[in-house]
Amino acid sequence: MDLREIQLFMNVADHQSFTKAAEQTYLSQPSLSKVVKKLEEELQVELFDRSTRHLWLTDAGKIVYQQGQKSLESLTELKMLLDELRNVKTGKIKIGIPPLVGTLVFPDMALKFHAKYPKVWLQLVELGAKRIVHLVEDSEVDLAICVLPVDEEKLNVYPFISDEFVVFIYNDHPLANREKLAISELKNENFILFSNDFTLHDSVINACKENGFDPKVSYETSQWDLITELISAKMGIALLPKSIFYKQNNPNVKMIPIKDSVFHWRLAIITKKDTYHSFATRELLKMLIGNPNEGASLK
């Protein structure tokens, strides 16, 4: 048994098919089947349940898969350590950021870091905050900026930005001249939300429920600028972080503070616990958070 055999077995498990795994590994299906069969004979267990259309891991297969993951991660860490010895202060950092957060913080972040480490490439992965958290947990990105709360049992969490929510509303809306609005006053309005894989989607719905109503949702989108355009077109209102208002330039949209607001947008930088972080990643963290106990603010 060697790690190549384990890796091929894991490819079959990931695809639930010898055929698809063979295409991905550039082996013939018979050759791949032979490798897995040899591994089963050597370990004296069955790794797959072959009685259904798709291949499913047996209990023994799950154990081999999990231990294989750990072994491959150790080899990856070894390569990273050796690469750092050969290429100090070079490399790539994969950063997970929801699109809205990227708009607000990434350009300035990239500019400052590039000035100090021009040979380090920052690769941006833009997805909704819920999906970004899973990427960190699965070690598919090095760090991420996401909306709190997150699972602090699995993640290192460094508070980063706090911003208040406000009401985005079109200029000639009947409530547009109010100095402040209570969330409860919006119960008859049509809401425009971020789509379901964004934490902001849940934040707004929960805030409405806490104020005694379920919001009427007219549109959902993954694009913050489309939200402001829909508001301008009188298709609804939105609850959004105040900092977004200063990034948009639609003259038909205004913001109104929320009365007695305890509704805040809290962002944090997160990394996976108990895993290796490259020199470049550690330097980026140091630049962003300085003292881990201190946060930043957009106010």
Span 54-83, pLDDT tens digits: 789 999 989 999 998 888 888 888 887 777
Provide the 3-class DSSP secondary structure of residue 89: coil
Question: Domain 3-85 carries which CATH code?
Answer: 1.10.10.10
Give the per-residue pLDDT at 298.
Answer: 38
H helices of the chain, in order, are: 3-15, 18-25, 29-43, 59-86, 99-116, 129-137, 199-210, 224-232, 242-245, 279-289
Domain with CATH 1.10.10.10 in the chain: 3-85
Question: Domain 87-160+266-289 carries which CATH code?
Answer: 3.40.190.10
Give the per-residue pLDDT at 117.
Answer: 86
Convert the pLDDT of each residue in 244-276 to its tens digit: 898 888 999 999 999 876 788 888 999 999 888
Domain with CATH 3.40.190.10 in the chain: 87-160+266-289
Whether the per-residue pLDDT at 143 is higher than 80: the answer is: yes
Domain with CATH 3.40.190.290 in the chain: 162-265
Question: In Å, what is the CA distance from 200 to each residue of 143, 149, 183?
Answer: 20, 11, 16
Question: Which burial class, exposed, middle or buried, applies to 161 when counting CB atoms under 10 A from its CB (0-12, 13-18, 19+)?
Answer: buried
Looking at every residue in the chain, the average pLDDT score rounds to 87
Q: Are 217 and 191 in contact (CB under 8 A)?
A: yes
Residue 78, φ and ψ in degrees, nearest 5: -60, -45
Is residue 24 very low, low, confident or very high in pLDDT (cuts 50, 70, 90)? confident
Cis ω on the peptide bond leading into residue 149 (within 30° of 0)? yes
Its sign, for the CA torsion 235, 210, 166, 298, is negative
Q: Average of pLDDT values for 171-190?
A: 95
At the topology level, CATH places domain 162-265 in: D-Maltodextrin-Binding Protein; domain 2 (3.40.190)
Whether the per-residue pLDDT at 26 is higher than 90: the answer is: no
Q: Are 12 and 39 in contact (CB under 8 A)?
A: no
pTM over 0.85: no
Q: Average of pLDDT values for 163-190?
A: 95
Give the per-residue pLDDT at 141.
Answer: 94
